[in-house]
Structure formats: structure tokens, C-alpha cells
């Protein structure tokens, strides 16, 4: 919604301090939200794409041009406490503006095959939303003894497979095979 009103920047919270910063105020280790913010920063480009979801009120979907590569990146949030959602994508270019795009999340089959998509599934350890440990694709994210952030490696998935979003989780999905005018490199440079 903010992109509709041409909002350029958004700051959710402090890095350290306040009620819940991105870093723990005692250890300076990342709190779970840090990893979501880091993936957003690394994957989601500046150009925002319009999305629609048909089917479940507790699923949020966001789409952007990918930040430093071809295609688009989605962020999907399943706020349902017990239901896994499996979705397929349908892409429709809007008629009103050549560079705008409507991304519909439906049960259609994705016709593009070949190049794998990359998925980053963030979940709370043991499903406990109060846990200080976050999992990426089922593996704990912890800084090493030097305080370095772990590598955030995606899983690679066949683009025709549905995207599975576990209960109370966030999934970032990079899809290099979806090309839209708004994400052309020349379009990005002119913005």
C-alpha cells in the first residue's frame, strides 16, 4: 500500500535498543527479525509490483523486481496458526501501464520450466513464536564465534512445483524466469 503513495523509505524499528531492536541489547546477536530484514534488503528491489491473493485471508503477498538479478522476488507470510498453504503463480500484465504488473497467486500451473527458483523459508524454532532462534529452510541461524552472520542459502525448487508456506512462517521466493517490463534493467535505471 505504501508503494501506491510513492513512499520511498520505511523504518520499522531501531537497530539496538527500544522495546525490540534488530539486535539483542546484551549480546548484540541478531534477534529473529534481523534475518527477515536482511533477506528483504538482499532480495527485494526498489520496483514494487501489484499482487493479489485469492483464497485465504491469513496470507500476505508482496512482489518486487529482484534486487540484483533477473526476475521477481516474492515475500509470502502465512499468519495461520495451523494451516500450510500451497500456491502456484499466475502472471498478468496490466493494461493501464506497460511497466506495471499484476501478480495473481492462484492455483494455475506455472508454464515456465527449466531454471529453478530459490526459496528462503523462515520459521521459529519448534514453532514457538517467542523463540530467539529462527530457522532458515529448517536450519538454525546463529552467528559464529567471531560474530559473523551465517550464509543465507536458499533451497532450489522446480518452478512448476507449488510454493509451500508453513503456518506462521515467512517465505522469500526469487523467480528468475518471470520477466516483466517494470523489471527491465533500463526501466530500473530510469527510476
pLDDT digits (tens, 9 = 90+) for 85-134: 999 877 766 554 544 444 544 434 444 445 799 999 999 999 888 899 99
Beta strands in the chain (DSSP E): 44-53, 59-66, 72-78, 85-93, 101-106, 117-124, 134-136, 139-140, 155-157, 163-165, 169-175
pTM: 0.81
Query: Mind listing the pLDDT tens digit for each residue in 8-64?
Result: 555 655 655 566 678 888 888 898 999 999 999 999 999 998 887 777 789 999 999
CA distance 52 to 137: 25
The CATH-assigned architecture of domain 15-189 is Sandwich (2.60)
Cα–Cα distances (Å) from 82 to 2, 70, 127, in that order, read 29, 34, 10
- Could you give the 3-state DSSP secondary structure of residue 1? coil
CA distance 145 to 135: 18
Query: Mind listing the pLDDT tens digit for each residue in 53-75?
Result: 777 789 999 999 999 889 999 99
Q: How far is CA 154 from the centre of its chain?
A: 12
Q: Could you tell me the residue ranges of all domains in the chain?
A: 15-189
Amino acid at each position: 500500500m505504501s508503494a501506491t503513495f510513492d513512499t520511498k523509505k520505511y523504518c520499522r524499528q531501531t537497530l539496538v535498543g527500544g522495546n525490540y531492536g534488530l539486535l539483542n541489547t546484551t549480546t548484540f546477536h541478531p534477534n529473529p527479525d534481523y534475518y527477515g530484514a536482511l533477506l528483504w534488503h538482499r532480495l527485494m528491489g526498489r520496483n514494487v509490483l501489484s499482487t493479489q491473493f485469492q483464497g485465504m485471508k491469513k496470507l500476505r503477498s508482496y512482489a518486487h523486481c529482484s534486487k540484483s538479478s533477473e526476475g521477481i522476488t516474492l515475500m509470502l507470510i502465512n499468519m495461520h496458526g495451523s494451516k500450510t498453504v500451497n500456491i502456484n503463480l499466475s502472471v498478468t500484465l496490466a493494461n493501464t501501464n506497460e511497466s506495471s504488473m499484476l501478480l495473481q497467486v492462484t492455483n494455475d500451473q506455472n508454464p515456465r520450466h527449466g531454471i529453478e527458483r530459490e526459496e528462503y523459508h523462515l520459521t521459529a524454532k519448534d514453532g514457538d513464536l517467542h523463540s530467539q532462534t529462527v530457522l532458515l529452510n529448517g536450519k538454525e541461524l546463529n552467528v559464529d564465534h567471531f560474530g559473523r552472520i551465517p550464509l543465507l542459502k536458499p533451497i532450489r525448487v522446480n518452478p512448476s512445483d507449488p510454493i509451500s508456506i508453513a503456518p506462521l512462517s515467512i517465505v522469500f521466493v526469487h523467480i528468475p524466469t518471470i520477466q516483466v517490463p517494470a523489471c527491465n534493467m533500463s526501466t530500473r535505471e530510469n527510476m
